[in-house]
Amino acid sequence: MPTLPFRFLSVLFLAAFSSFAAADVLVVTDRAHPVQASPGARVIELDLPARIEMALSSGLPSDPGRAEEIARQRVRDRELQRRLFVAWQGLAEARSLSVTKVPAVVVDRRYVVYGETDVSRALARIETYRSAQP
């Protein structure tokens, strides 16, 4: 059974971030900048398309004909196609938001915090800013 301080902190945390429950929270990062994402945040890894494409060509045989055959089989995989589509879509969205550095935490396509690897802390900073604005 949780102790009283733990319950109090849990309630306080939920109250502080309740305004983000309906918010669109997007985390833009790459493999070199891991983040501690919070539930409900969508994560875009800018280097994911390149990593998927590199995996497509890994382990291919030196025989060009056989390598082409295997590559074509890999490209026909529906799950791989879906993953590539989602990865490229995320990259396009990050560019449309003009994200300039990673990691970036973007809320409602309007507020952004750069350089914070803990999404909860970034959300707290945004909430502090939003509550101070008229």
Q: What is the pLDDT of residues 52-97, one digit of tens each?
A: 999 988 999 999 999 999 999 998 999 999 999 999 999 999 999 9
For position 23, what pLDDT does the model report? 76
Report how far apart, in Å, the C-alpha atoms of 92 and of each of 10, 85, 97, 105 are. Answer: 36, 11, 9, 16
Domain that holds residue 42: 4-132
Compute the C-alpha angle 39/49/71, nearest 5°. Answer: 130
Total number of domains in the chain: 1
For position 24, what pLDDT does the model report? 92
pLDDT tens per residue across span 19-64:
445 479 999 999 999 999 888 899 999 999 999 999 988 999 999 9
For position 8, what pLDDT does the model report? 41
Task: Select the more confidently predicted residue: 19 or 105.
Answer: 105
